[in-house]
Structure 1
Amino acid sequence: MSTLLKNGLVYIDGELHEEDLLIAGTKIKAIGFGLEADQPDEIIDLKGKLVAPGLVDIHEHYREPGFTYKETIKTGSAGAARGGFTTVCTMPNVDPVPDDVETFKKQVELNQKSSLVHLYQYAAITKDLTSDEVVDMEGLKEAGAFAFSNDGKGIQQAGTMYDAMKLAAKVGLPICEHVQDDSLYHKGVMNAGKRAEELGLPGILGVSESAQVARDLILAQETGVHYHVCHVSTKESVELVRLAKEYGINVTAEAAPHHLLLNEEDINGNNGYYKMNPPLRSVEDQAALIDGLLDGTIDLIATDHAPHSLEEKAGDMRKAAFGIIGNETAFACLYTKFVKSGAMDLELLLDLMSYQPAKLFGLDAGVLAPGKEADIAVFDLDHVETINEDDYLSKGRNTPFTGEEVYGMTALTFVSGKLVYKNKHLAD
Structure 2
Amino acid sequence: MRLLIKGGTVYQAGNLVKEDILIEDDKIKALGVDLAQVVTADQTIDATDLVVAPGLVDVHVHYREPGFTYKETIKTGSMAAAHGGYTTVCAMPNLNPVPDTPEKVAQMVALNQKDGVVHILQYAAITTGLTSEELGDYGALKKAGAFALSNDGKGVQSAGVMYLAMKKAQSLNLPIAAHVEDNSLLFGGVMNAGKKAEELGLPGMLGLSESSQIARDLLLAKETGVHYHICHVSTKESVELVRLAKAHGINVTCEVSPHHLLLSEDDILTNDPYYKMNPPLRSKGDQQALIVGLLDGTIDMIATDHAPHSVAEKTGDMRDAAFGITGSETAFSMLYTKFVLTKIFTLEQLLNWMSINPAKLFNIKQAGEIMPGKPADLALFDLNHETVISEKDYLSKGINTPFTGEKVHAQTVLTLVSGKAAYQKGR
**TM-score surpassing 0.5?**
yes
Match of 2:31?
Answer: 31
Q: Secondary structure at the match of 2:146?
A: coil
From 415, 418, 424, give the equivalent of 2:417: 415
- Match status 1:400 vs 2:402: yes
User: Which residue is equivalent to 1:196?
Assistant: 197
Partner in structure 1 of residue 43 of structure 2: 42
1:268-283 aligned within 5 A:
268-283=269-284
Q: Which residue of structure 2 lines up, in the alignment, with residue 66 of structure 1?
A: 67
Equivalent residue runs for 1:114-125 within 5 Å: 114-125=115-126
- Any idea what SS the aligned residue of 1:146 has? strand
Corresponding residue of 2:324 = 323
Contact 1:134/1:164 (8 A) holds in 2: yes
Shift of 1:21: 1.0
CA deviations 1:364-421 (Å, max 9, x no partner) are: 2000011110000000111111000000000000000000000111110000000111
Q: 2:380 aligns with which of 378, 381, 385?
A: 378
State which drifts further: 138-147 or 393-402. Answer: 138-147
Distance 1:34 1:193 in 2: 58
Q: TM-score if structure 2 supplies the norm length?
A: 0.99
Deviations 1:165-208 (A, max 9, x none): 11011111111100000000111000000000000000000000
Contact kept, 8 Å, 2:132 with 2:161, in 1: the verdict is: no
Question: Secondary structure, in 3 states, of the residue corresponding to 2:423?
Answer: strand
Which amino acid counterpart does residue 12 of structure 1 have in structure 2?
Answer: Q
Determine if the alignment matches structure 1 residue 236 to structure 2 residue 237: yes
Distance 2:188 2:96 in 1: 24
For residues 401 and 347 of structure 1, what CA distance do their matches in structure 2 show? 24
Q: Secondary structure at the match of 2:369?
A: coil
Name the CA distance, whole Å, in 2 between partners of 1:131 and 1:278. Answer: 19
Q: Counterpart in 2 of 1:4?
A: 4
1:2-401 residue pairs with structure 2 within 5 A? 2-36=2-36, 37-364=38-365, 365-401=367-403
- Runs of 5+ consecutive residues of structure 1 not aligned to the other structure: none
Aligned-partner Cα distance in 1 for 2:349–2:244: 22
Structure 1 runs (4+) deviating above 6 angstroms are none
Moved more, 24-33 or 195-204: 24-33
For the residues of structure 2 that align with 1:211 and 1:62, how far apart are their CA atoms? 29
For residues 285-336 of structure 1, what are the alpha-carbon distances to aligned partners after superposition, in whole Å with 9 as ceiling and x for unaligned?
A: 0000000000000000000000000000001000000000000110010000
**Amino acid in structure 2 at the alignment position of 1:154:** G
Give the aligned residue type for 2:408. V
Contact kept? 1:149, 1:175, Cα under 8 Å: yes
What is the total number of aligned residue pairs between the two structures?
A: 425
- Secondary structure of the residue that 1:122 maps to in structure 2? strand
The aligned amino acid for 1:195 is: K
Deviation at residue 268 of structure 1 after TM alignment: 2.1
Distance 1:402 1:151 in 2: 26
Contact 2:19 2:34 in 1 (8 A): no
Q: Name the TM-score, length of structure 1 as normaliser.
A: 0.98
Which deviations, in whole Å up to 9, do the C-alpha atoms of 1:102-146 show, x marking residues without a partner?
111111111110000001000000000014101111111111111
Aligned mates of 2:369, 2:247 — CA distance in 1: 28
Gaps of 5+ in 2: none
* TM superposition shift of 1:34: 2.8
Identity of aligned residues (%): 65
Residues in 1 aligned to 2:159 and 2:319: alpha-carbon distance in whole angstroms: 29
Asked if the contact 1:234/1:281 (under 8 Å) is kept, the reply is: yes
Distance 1:67 1:323 in 2: 14
Q: Distance in 2 between matches of 1:66 and 1:394?
A: 17
CA contact (8 A) 1:125 1:149 kept: yes
Which range is displaced more, 193-202 or 26-35? 26-35
* 8 Å contact from structure 1 (residues 329, 409) kept in 2: no
Contact 2:132 2:157 in 1 (8 A): no
Residue 279 of structure 1 deviates from its aligned partner by 0.2
Aligned equivalents of 2:232 and 2:272: distance in 1? 21
**Alpha-carbon separation, structure 1, partners of 2:176 and 2:378:** 29
> Is contact 2:7-2:47 (8 Å) kept?
yes
**Which amino acid in the other structure matches residue 18 of structure 1?**
K
Distance 1:260 1:115 in 2: 28
Contact persistence 1:2–1:24 (CA under 8 A): yes
Q: Within 2, Cα distance between the matches of 1:362 and 1:87?
A: 12
